[in-house]
Structure 1
């Protein structure tokens, strides 16, 4: 919901007042949200479980399957980062300031709806298989942008790849859990988020350089998604060794690290 309302609010403030006000509002809201989370009872009361004398040290986190998974997620982040800059370029090209927030909000709306549908039932196959299928659909969803649609067509088009974003992220978390030794899960999740963030930064940087070239700018999200699919295909033998990755009702079994 934040990723739906946030872009619209930022675009509205920038259009009605100034980009400086939108940036300041973003900083204030971010600080307020961080303060609420940091001071909430679950945050203040949490403490790591004490380690008993007989506990063995946690295994190393590194595995080739995890590394390839995180590299693939950088491609997903690249697509998201380039989308945000492409939205600004579309707004400038068509003289519609709200497009800079409307396009990311439409993408996030698709993610919200896709997540609701995905979470309603248990899907067959392992989480790694669902991740690969989701990445393929994510890639296919970006291809209509290569036709350089207008504002309305572009808004409708970005809903489709957005619908598969939550599916991929949820599957990536389950797959990460199955590949991670006991006691290192939080660290592995941090690397997962970092991988997406690094890709997002790279996509934003490159999209900014190519913002003046409509076709290249529109093709960048698909390029990031294609990279993710290619890496996941390479990683498939290592990821498919894991057991069932059903995300509801059954906890996935941990698989041997490779």
Structure 2
């Protein structure tokens, strides 16, 4: 699959261009602390960045479906890089309000690389089985963002300064986005025209799709809570590298899960696989309720990371099965929005609960419980759709 023309460049460029997603949460919190603000304010910055990025995803997805990927990716990348690079200077001397404004604007202009890549897979790989492998590898490889990203941000902040971490974040995001946008499949991609017919053929929203997106917000809340909880634990134990190590171990599980899940075809429908994966994701968070030490916690978060890949891959396949032709980029963007909104909520809540160890450690499990509950309640409506596949 990796030998297919353009696949390596697009996957690698997307990972590099999305590296700010892994670096920014840690870099923003550490920058806020270095500027004299609290962890709660750092959590608010992370939440706004993630929320703004997620909220703008459907708009960018719709624009890509109409005008192509190049016309959307390049301007967004230039604006995001400029905003992140200038934040340490203007945000430091302009006060918290200006910092909040810059971070929000940077989130709003973040390129929709993930949705764009998922929309390219059908044109790049025709065989459905290989597309399943590609999607699993894609979802698992996203874990590399949260292995390299937090570690790189923490290392740069420790060796140089949080401002250097933010500047590096801006540069890497710009280079990766340009690598993708200038590749022929992305530069010349156009969505398949929407199927002609009545309003129902063109309508994106449906009961099963909405239930799926609501459930995914719980998955996002668990991820967002983990990022700030890791920073709080690093501050408590006075080991700054824990802020990058714990998310990196979690994301190592994401990467390994992608390799295992994509290696073979699994039994059952996509819906059943999704339910099993969310159950495993929930079970993986339960050891944190005992409030273990940092090293035990770092090992424990590997398990939910493994199941997260399966959750994301199955969610994309379900979305594809429930989405009308010509609306895939927008639908994928709504999926990313759902996770991003949950992640922002989890990040903000974890920031306010940072002084309560048990409550902050329980937040990831609470998010997973919410996701599983919504999926099970919607199970009758989530019966396999016409394009549902294993």
8 Å contact kept, 1:85–1:204: yes
1:24 aligns with 2:167: yes
1:70 aligns with 2:208: no
Per the TM alignment, residue 143 of structure 1 is displaced from its structure 2 partner at its CA by 0.7
Per the TM alignment, residue 50 of structure 1 is displaced from its structure 2 partner at its CA by 6.0
Name the stretch that deviates more: 236-245 or 219-228: 236-245
Q: Which residue of 1 aligns with 2:316?
A: 173
> Normalising by structure 1, what TM-score?
0.90
1:234 aligns with one of 359, 373, 377? 377
Per the TM alignment, residue 14 of structure 1 is displaced from its structure 2 partner at its CA by 1.2
8 Å contact kept, 1:132–1:229: yes
1:195 aligns with 2:338: yes
Name the stretch that deviates more: 234-243 or 160-169: 234-243
Length, aligned pairs only? 245
8 Å contact kept, 2:269–2:384: no
Gap runs ≥5 in structure 1? 248-258
Per the TM alignment, residue 38 of structure 1 is displaced from its structure 2 partner at its CA by 2.0
8 Å contact kept, 1:84–1:100: yes
Q: Which residue of 2 aligns with 1:251?
A: none
CA–CA distance in 1 between the matches of 2:220 and 2:193? Answer: 36
Q: Which residue of 2 aligns with 1:4?
A: 147
> Normalising by structure 2, what TM-score?
0.60
Q: Which residue of 1 aligns with 2:300?
A: 157
Per the TM alignment, residue 33 of structure 1 is displaced from its structure 2 partner at its CA by 1.6
CA–CA distance in 1 between the matches of 2:192 and 2:218? Answer: 35
Gap runs ≥5 in structure 2? 1-143
Moved over 3 A (4+): 48-51, 54-58, 243-247
Q: Which residue of 2 aligns with 1:56?
A: 197
CA–CA distance in 2 between the matches of 1:201 and 1:64? Answer: 24
Measured on the aligned residues, the alpha-carbon RMSD in Å equals 1.7
Per the TM alignment, residue 42 of structure 1 is displaced from its structure 2 partner at its CA by 2.0
1:205 aligns with 2:348: yes
1:141 aligns with 2:280: no
CA–CA distance in 2 between the matches of 1:63 and 1:77? Answer: 21
